[in-house]
Chains A and B, each alone.
Chain A
Amino acid sequence: GQNIDQPTEMTATEGAIVQINCTYQTSGFNGLFWYQQHAGEAPTFLSYNVLDGLEEKGRFSSFLSRSKGYSYLLLKELQMKDSASYLCAVYTGGYQKVTFGTGTKLQVIP
């Protein structure tokens, strides 16, 4: 089976840095995704990690440790528009199925 855990909610200040953690347990690991979902909208892709280490993409970075079953999404220079839910997801069943965590709702305050 598979299990994906994320904090339910986080609050951070505009201009600051926030780290959103994700731990997972899967039978066979083939990669981890991060998606952003604004309220009332569909999820949109942020990043994909399959090897250990940090992937940087502008203000957003994603880290993976396969041995620890752990990933985090790092958001720098927070903006009000970053207020959204952030969903961690992993491949299950080879590369066919994608299983999502419950998501972390981030609120950015002035």
Chain B
Amino acid sequence: NAGVTQTPKFRILKIGQSMTLQCTQDMNHNYMYWYRQDPGMGLKLIYYSVGAGITDKGEVPNGYNVSRSTTEDFPLRLELAAPSQTSVYFCASRRSEGGTEQFFGPGTRLTVL
């Protein structure tokens, strides 16, 4: 099992550009999450999904969009990138039962200049 994979690992965007951060998991987990982590800070929830076709906003959804057409994939779309979106983005997945831990991908380091 590869676990949770994210691409790309690094990216530099110009202000106003758009991009999609890819996330795939091969553990058949129903729940998937997108977090951002600013330097020296904790993780802030952007969006989450409890199954294919179902998504919901987290704490900081503005400037982002998601879709979940399959169990495996949960891409995060940035429209009109802004310097405030410079961060490390982590995707995570877990089983739906209570008490199960999240498995995290290696992260995407995004810089918007």
Contact = CB atoms under 8 A, between A and B. Distances in A.
B90 interface: yes
- State the 10 A-B residue pairs at the shortest beta-carbon distance, nearest first: A45-B101, A42-B104, A102-B42, A100-B43, A95-B98, A100-B42, A103-B42, A48-B99, A43-B104, A101-B42
A30 interface: yes
A99 B44 CA distance: 7
Interface residues of A, number: 23
A103 B42 CA distance: 6
Contacts of B97: 95
A99 B43 CA distance: 8
A103 B39 CA distance: 11
Interface of A: 30-31, 33, 41-45, 48, 50, 87, 89, 91, 95-103, 105
Contacts of B16: none
Contact of A31 (B98, B103, B104, B105): B98
A99 B102 contact: no
Interface of B: 31, 33, 35, 40-45, 48, 50, 56, 58-59, 90, 96-99, 101-107
A96 B101 CA distance: 12
Given A42-B105, A96-B48, A87 B90 contact: no
Q: Max chain A CB contacts within 10 Å: which of B33, B45, B101? A: B101
A98 B90 contact: no
